[in-house]
Amino acid sequence: MFKQTPPMGWNSWNTFEYNINDKLIRETADAMVSTGLRDAGYEYLVIDDCWSMPTRGADGRLRPDPEKFPEGIKPVADYVHSKGLKFGMYSCAGPVTCAHFPGSFDNEFLDAETFASWGVDFLKYDYCLHSQLTEGKVLYRRMGAALENCGRDILFSACTWGADNTWEWIKETSASMWRSTNDIHDNWESIKEIIRQQIPLFPYHGQGCFNDMDMLVVGIHGESRFIGDGMNETQYKTHFSAWSMFGSPLMIGCDIRNMSDTTKKILMNRDLIAINQDPACRQVHLLKKDFRLDVDVFVRQLSGGEFVIGIFNLTDRDNRASFTLDQLGLNPSLHKTLRMREIWTGEEMTVQNSYVLRQIKNCDCEVWRCKIVDA
């Protein structure tokens, strides 16, 4: 499947891990509708690892765990579809998955056919325990070809963790998104590390094959037993701002059945979602790195001539950031300036003297949508 904008949805792993079942998936589908997430653009509901039996059936096909999914997978997919959503599942390029359930190695075409018969719209394809004799790019080409020939339009999510220089070959595979990082954790150090990893990868992100910075941890608050102790709301805000501005797929990982109002406010910030889903999908670039203060200023040009400027203070202390408009190509001789609106607060300003100076709280950010106007 060719996606023109980054996929958006929900994935079961970060909160529920092994503890998935028919009831949870149906309730989550209901919540995606009742909370407004579906209407905000979150359309994929994805079951991660641990959904299957430990072995394949006599016919060689994958089998859902009958205790977790007593009616099988297709009725669950049908229910998700009835809510106006799309349904996703998980497999792996190895003979077994990360949790040691059957993977798709040497069964790619059979499994793609099975997924299609169940009504699957999205496949997250992991990289655990894969063959050391076959190059990763070959394994992903193989599943990509299988999905393209399965008779159903299935989005291919390549979860390679950025291993084996994924960015060099992933567009050979028909993948619509590719993981560029190790697993995200629900802590500030993980968020900072992932943001900084993106800078050399900006040129490899784009329409049809999106750099996946991993699933969102907004709103988990340490409730997952294995991915961290949680963050404060400012840190979650900064996390969501970076993922949105950088054009990463936005896959929610919290339990959306009982989200707090603050979590909803972050995940449903329509201005940031609009930036994430901007149809031009242009490349982000680092405008300024202040090595002394450790504050990053990123810029992305949007369709229609606007800019988005993100100022990220990834430190644990309050800091300041500055930049000049000539760094964006707006030299003073052009007699142009920027009219700016900050997305979280609604603050507006017009840049004077081609210079911007901002004070940014610790772990915080500002994201400005900007129009070029006469100076």
Q: Which two tokens stand for residue 123?
A: 């496949």
Tell me, yes or no, if 164 is annotated catalytic: no
Residue of 22, 48, 121, 126 marked catalytic: 126
Type of residue numbered 11: N
Tell me, yes or no, if 126 is annotated catalytic: yes
**Beta-strand relationship, 319-324 and 355-360:** antiparallel
Q: Which two tokens stand for residue 324?
A: 């000049």
Nearest CA to 308 out of 256, 370, 361, 247 is that of 370
DSSP secondary structure letter of residue 300: E
d(CA 35, CA 16): 20
Residue of 30, 65, 183, 290 marked catalytic: 183
What is the DSSP annotation of 4-70?
Answer: SS--EEEESHHHHTT---HHHHHHHHHHHHHTSHHHHT--EEE--SS-B-SS--TTS---B-TTT-T
d(CA 218, CA 31): 16
Vertex 295: Cα angle to 292 and 297 (nearest 5): 125
Question: How many Cα atoms sit within 13 Å of 252 on the Cβ side?
Answer: 28
Q: How many CB atoms lie within 10 A of CB 184?
A: 22
Provide the 3-class DSSP secondary structure of residue 254: coil
Provide the 3-class DSSP secondary structure of residue 265: helix
Q: Which two tokens stand for residue 270?
A: 């329509």
Provide the 3-class DSSP secondary structure of residue 141: helix
Strand partners, 274: none
Q: Which two tokens stand for residue 81?
A: 């579809």
Question: Which active-site residues does the annotation give?
Answer: 126, 183
